[in-house]
Amino acid sequence: MDASPELTALFERKLDELQFGPGDRLLVFRPVACGLGGQLSGRLLTLAMALALGRKAVFLGLTDPPYGQTLAALHDEGHDLTGLDAAPIVEIAADQPDRIVVHDPKLMSVHGAEFTATLLQKASARLGTSIPSRILLEGLAFNWMKVAPKVVAWNEAQRVRLGVDGDTLGVHFRRGDKAVETAFVPAAVINARIAEIHAAWPFAKLFLASDSPNAPQEIVCPAGVELIFDTQEQRFNNANHKMLMEQPELVEQETLVAFKNIHLLSICGGVVGQDNAHFATIAAASILARGTPPERIALISGRIAEENNPMLARYFRVKAMARAIARRLLPHMTASARMERAMRRAR
């Protein structure tokens, strides 16, 4: 079954029953220190796995530090978490007898074809209808999520101020700290996707979300299309979550700004971004789950520059190896270790 009102209603009913019903078989999400998009993606996958396995997804708090609260409660309260520290990592293909299993992104791989196929097969069986893609499954989960009232009001105020709506193409132009992981996706590649979508769907507006203040100079907006770029947004062009560990006074501001961009991208009528940037993948999932034609969604390989340049690919392989060695030799400098220290200072 493709995205439809009937599928959405079925999914939401099943997840409501699971998350707010009497079940005591739990799947607990253990978050890691990362950006807000990564934390939300971790929650989405936890919900999808919980549905597939018939377990209740339990989150250890309403916030995922170093960010503040964006979501309302996603499950009922009062769960007995005795034994959590010794609970096994969830295995999507296994029928684990344990009362509690754990989704820990640091300790499990969730990107392989076998994992995805099993997830979809089990989720489809629970729903009694076919879920053809993981992006659709995660989009249904994102659209089900309850957002905190304060954040709902903020998001709506920003939507009205900027004029983003369903006749807008969202473009996520990732710069900043992404170069730590991969080479930047060339602007020319993103511009080509924008032009292709516009030829088939003549959108009236383009909402440009970027951590670079120079983004409007690099993105080509089709003739006659209004460019929406939030000039009031402060852009740090860095690894935002690491900054917040050291500057907690910015937490509320940066949490709202980050969630605003995710929300605005997700309510557009289409999106262009890269497949290793959570803002773009969450937005694409949400848009697809509303029944939008998939031709309006373009998730470009985040490694496209390296795929077309062997020397660049070698450079980033060496860089990744150096980072892995540094994490082993200097564990106190990792983001997780820094997050633990920041949380101790806050107590």
pLDDT of residue 129 exceeding 50: yes
Return the closest-CA partner of residue 193 out of 229, 220, 227, 213: 220
Asked whether residue 333 carries a pLDDT value surpassing 80, the answer given is: no
Per-residue pLDDT tens over the stretch 296-308? 999 999 888 788 8
Most confident residue range from 250-254, 325-329, 339-343:
250-254
pLDDT digits (tens, 9 = 90+) for 29-68: 998 888 899 999 999 999 999 999 999 999 998 988 888 8
CB 176 within 8 A of CB 214: no
Q: What is the band of 347 on the pLDDT scale with cuts at 50, 70, 90?
A: very low
- 39-43, 220-224, 246-250, 335-339: lowest mean pLDDT where? 335-339
DSSP E strand boundaries for the chain: 26-29, 56-59, 100-103, 168-173, 205-210, 226-228, 270-274, 297-300
pLDDT, tens only, 172-222: 998 866 555 667 899 999 999 999 999 999 999 999 999 899 999 999 999
The predicted structure's pLDDT at residue 75: 96
Q: Which tokens in the block code for residue 240?
A: 């935002």
- Give the model's confidence band at 330: pLDDT under 50 very low, under 70 low, under 90 confident, else very high: low
Six token digits for residue 226: 């209004």
φ, ψ at 13 (rounded to 5°): -65, -45
- Residue 113 CA to residue 124 CA, distance in Å, equals 16
Digit-coded pLDDT (tens) for 132-159: 999 999 999 999 999 999 999 999 999 9
pTM comes to 0.89
Report the DSSP beta bridge partners of residue 147.
71
